[in-house]
Chain A
């Protein structure tokens, strides 16, 4: 088996630096109100984009189980607010759909 050590080191570096740098730049400074607002919207925009990306980049075969799995997880968490139940329901429903085809 080939060793991928140098690849892993490279991937580690380019993943860690973007996580680290903003902490050093932004800490303990006055931040513009608009920028603060902008940063506070990121949780919502990034999650929405990751969900949509998951749907449109999946294979044709997995499209329906993916959409319904995401849908049921979203609906259950919307009503019940229970993350564990929602995620497990999403996995379970997509499992059922994949198997009934």
Chain B
């Protein structure tokens, strides 16, 4: 019986993970190829994807390495850009309360923007086999895509390489838009967070990374305050 349920959960995880697997592979290929063109070894390129495993910061690191920026500064920039995962991990921790504690370090490693989103939007399905399946498949796609891009990416035309990197944002949108249908609250949160981020970005006060974190905190907190008032006035 146990085995049957686990099998079912793994299957559910595979279905939910499929879009991430298909989305990650070409984006990782674009990364692998760009890394090769930045004169980084195959070993280091693979390690970036296998150990750091955070797309946006890996692309940023290539830019900074090419510009001759020091390792310390690149690490600091990576920290700031990826600090948003702390908010996501905190958001998921509430849902993971019943999981085996010893496996949480492994589950935590697999938290990315995309795995976080699909797991959050399938809260009723959350279980260890479900989450691990999603994490392992997404991770494999990212790692293998990187190596493939490094080794054979050059055969792709440049315009295809550019459009592949747009895939990342297409995936964000494809995750978010169906949620908007579910409630006006979500539409409101999307609009308000976009406006707040644009203001933060063009104010130029905060470095990249901090503006993302602040944007998430301010708009989510604003949601709590505003929706609370609305509830009270309904009474």
Contacts and interface: CB of A to CB of B under 8 A. Distances in A.
A46 B38 CA distance: 30
A8 B47 contact: yes
A62 B159 CA distance: 10
Interface string A47-79: 111111111100000100110011111111110
Nearest to A9: B51
A73 B197 CA distance: 22
B194 A43 contact: no
Nearest to A69: B166
Interface in B4-59: 18-19, 22-23, 26, 39-41, 44, 47-48, 51-54, 57
Contacts of A78: 177-178, 180-181
Nearest to A34: B224
Interface residues of B, number: 92
Nearest to B197: A49
A75 B71 CA distance: 41
B96 A23 contact: yes
Nearest to A73: B170
Interface string B45-80: 001100111100100010001000001101110110
Given A43-B120, A87-B167, A98-B163, A19 B89 contact: yes
B168 interface: yes
From B47, B160, B163, B219, residue with most partner A Cβ within 10 Å: B163
Contact of B82 (A7, A18, A76, A87): A18
B205 interface: no
A83 to B, nearest CB: 3
Interface string B157-195: 001101110111111111111111100001001110110
B75 A14 contact: yes
Given A18-B83, A50-B113, A77-B177, A70 B215 contact: no
Contacts of A8: 44, 47-48, 51-52
B163 A69 contact: yes
A4 B166 contact: no
B128 to A, nearest CB: 13
Nearest to A90: B170
Contacts of A44: 176, 179, 186, 189-190, 193
A69 B164 CA distance: 10
27 contacts: A8-B51, A10-B74, A14-B82, A15-B85, A18-B85, A23-B93, A34-B224, A39-B91, A41-B189, A42-B87, A46-B84, A47-B175, A48-B191, A48-B193, A48-B219, A52-B194, A53-B197, A55-B169, A69-B170, A77-B175, A86-B174, A87-B23, A88-B22, A89-B170, A91-B164, A91-B167, A95-B160
Smallest CB-CB A-B distances: 7 pairs: A90-B170, A83-B19, A73-B170, A86-B174, A18-B86, A26-B93, A14-B79
Interface of B: 18-19, 22-23, 26, 39-41, 44, 47-48, 51-54, 57, 61, 65, 71-72, 74-76, 78-79, 82-94, 96-97, 101, 104-105, 107-109, 111, 113, 116-117, 120-121, 159-160, 162-164, 166-181, 186, 189-191, 193-194, 197-198, 201, 212, 215-216, 219-221, 223-224, 227-228
